[in-house]
Amino acid sequence: MKKNDNITIWQDVVSIKELILSVVISVSLTMGLYFLVPSNDNSVKLLFGLLGSIIGFIISTILYNPKRKVEKI
Amino acid sequence: MNILIQILIGIILAIAIYTIVGFIPGTDETSVLVPISLALSLSGINAQVVLAFFMASIITLSITNAIPTALVGLPGGVMSSPMMEHSLYLKDRGLSAVVIKKMAVGSLIGVMVSLPLSILLSNIIAPYGEVLKRYYSILFVFGAIFLSLLSKNKIASLLSIIPLSFLFMSLRHLYWSLDIVPREKNVTISFFLAITIGPLLLNIFELFDKEKRKKMKVIEDKIITIPSQDDRNINPFKIITKKELRNSILASLISVFLFVLSPVGLTILLGEVFSRNTKDRKERSFMSITVMSSLIQSTYISGILIPLISIGIPLSPVSIGPGIALFDAAPRFTTDNNIHHILSFNEMLLPIILAVGIALLFSYYLTNRYASIISRFVLEKIPHEAILALFISFIFLLSYIDAGVINIFGVILIGLVSGILNRHGVNYGVQFMSLYAAPWIFNLFLG
């Protein structure tokens, strides 16, 4: 049997390892961009933070595959 | 930039984001609506744009959330879970394509009925707004008790109101005494988000428990089948029967007047009442689906618009839940200075009507034509891990902005407590009301 660490969370299947890595990627990009942006304007920092979270989302989407098997009938 | 163009951009963005989010199974409405609308409010964008964005979000989400329920047999969100039983029954009979069309028409009816009626009702209630405002902190206490009495676990809900208030107030006092936030600031929004992600957070914590993890394990791949759609007919009157039309109109009409009740509760209750008389099992399921789709729209629209237009205080479960960023997004919006106070009635009307109209037409057409293509794309390409990570980073960011690093831990604490309470039948509504009632309850004990 192949090694499998899939679990159900929030009503869908995820791999624990990939979930943890995705969280680390997204959170560090979000907070990273928020702090690194050279601005004192809080709304600019917020927007950069959000941008970071979207970049994180795209990276995780590219790195990992959904655990669902889709069939068309 | 011209304000009209900004509004239109806001609407298009909302449609784009929530079409994708809606197709993702299991995404809870409050947790997907609040962080984004909140960030938008805090960014200082024009209030009309925030309002338009939000209205377009809820209309889009209410339609697209229903799709996974019909196509793949997974609820798109909390609001579509009442339809599961009927959707599955019809899906097994190969009728998903018809179900989707009926859902779209149901939504159309729900919006058409509730939008004008909610605006009308707000204007009738508005003169009493001043009186209500004077007592508003007590109203939240009543709200908490009222929602407790309607919840699954009445006694646990009632018992948790005061301890929850203490939890919120103790963290606020801690932040004040450490000079992390100024005395006059009540940290609310990040506590609110903490409640929202409570169940998810608790789930993640349980991953570290070996016994629990075994139970959550899935050995086999999840197999999902997507039926194809026939895409010719999009004329609403040919899709639903006269009786379905009549019942949907009636149900939406009634739900508008009951805007202080929980939208899921209303959808289950009225959906059941208006389909009970249909004898044939298949017809009854179709009736339920159509009526419930109308109700999902009408409960959301009335729940947000009536409190917003008439008083500016989040007194309904929708406004204190998914719509909170329009009422309270400190420092931009507070309960004394939010969209209700900033925009006049006429200034609110334009973004509302534009957003509702465009989002409705777009999602009606889209779901009728492309539902199975979009479902396939989302289910095959977007991993659930990325979605969870996205929302967790939103919460991190917004907690930090609210009260620094220490608040990230405060948020985790509240999330765990509310996740446990949630699992035992104390619903979001009761917890949100307790959060807003907390200062008043706390003062009672100070005598």
pLDDT in tens, B269-322: 899 889 988 889 999 999 999 999 999 999 999 999 999 999 999 989 999 989
Nearest to B365 by CA among B15, B53, B88, B83: B15
Look over chain A and give the mean of its residue pLDDT values, rounded to a whole number: 85
Lowest mean pLDDT among A35-49, B73-87, B217-231: B217-231
pLDDT score, position A2: 45
Q: Hey, are the CB atoms on A69 and B216 less than 8 Å from each other?
A: no
Determine whether the interchain pair B379/A66 forms a contact, defined as Cβ–Cβ distance below 8 Å: yes
- Please say whether the dihedral angle defined by the alpha carbons of residues A34, A35, A36 and A39, taken in this order, is positive or negative: positive
Comparing CB atoms, the residue among A6, A10, A70 nearest residue B226 is: A70
- Residue A1, pLDDT > 60, answer no
| Cβ-based contacts under 8 A for chains A and B | 163
Find the closest chain A residue to B43 by CA distance: A43
User: Which pLDDT does position B134 carry in this prediction?
Assistant: 79
Where in B266-381 does DSSP place strands (E)? none
Quick check: A37 contacting B, CB < 8 Å?
Answer: no
Residue B357 pLDDT grade (very low, low, confident, very high; cuts 50, 70, 90):
very high
Identify the weakest region by mean pLDDT among B45-49, B54-58, B333-337, B372-376: B372-376
Question: What percent of chain B lies above the pLDDT cut of 90?
Answer: 53
The predicted-structure confidence for B28-44, as pLDDT tens digits, reads as follows 888 889 988 998 998 88
Supply B425's token pair. 């039948």
Instruction: Say yes or no: A27 contacts chain B, CB-CB below 8 A.
Output: yes
| Among B203, B383, B392, beta carbon nearest to A65 | B383
User: Which CA distances in Å does B195 have to A10, B191, B199, B410?
Assistant: 15, 6, 8, 11
> What is the pLDDT at residue B231?
61
Task: Please report the residues numbered 54 through 73 in chain A whose beta carbons come closer than 8 angstroms to any beta carbon of chain B.
Answer: 54, 56-57, 60-61, 64-73
pLDDT for residue A72 is more than 80:
no
Q: Both tokens of residue B127?
A: 């003169």
**Distance in Å, alpha carbon of B26 to nearest chain A alpha carbon:** 6
- Please tell me if residue A40 touches chain B, with a CB cutoff of 8 Å: no
The arithmetic mean of pLDDT across residues B245-272, rounded, is 92
Among A2, A53, A65, the residue to mutate for chain B (most B Cβ within 10 A)? A53
pLDDT classification of A4: cutoffs 50, 70, 90: low
Q: What are phi and psi of A13, to 5 degrees?
A: -90, 135
What tokens were used for B366? 């889209």
Chain B nearest-CA distance from A32, in A, is 10
> Which of A22, A31, A66 has the CB atom closest to B396's CB atom?
A31
Q: Do A16 and B39 touch (CB under 8 A)?
A: no
- Is the pLDDT score of A3 beyond 60? no
pLDDT at B352: 97
Bigger pLDDT: B125 or A68? B125
Residue B237 has pLDDT above 90, yes or no: no
- What pLDDT score was predicted for residue B446? 83
Query: Does pLDDT of B221 surpass 70?
Result: no
Contact status of A33 with chain B (Cβ, < 8 Å): no
Cβ contact, residue pair B385, A18, below 8 Å: yes
Which one has a higher pLDDT value, B256 or B70?
Answer: B256
Q: Is a pLDDT exceeding 80 seen at residue B229?
A: no
**ipTM score here?**
0.93
pLDDT band for position B110 (cuts 50, 70, 90) = very high
Confidence of residue B106 (pLDDT cuts 50, 70, 90): very high
Characterize the bridge pairing of strands A6-9 and A12-15: antiparallel
B212 compared with B170, residue with greater pLDDT: B170
Whether omega before B199 lies within 30 degrees of 0, making that bond cis, reads: no
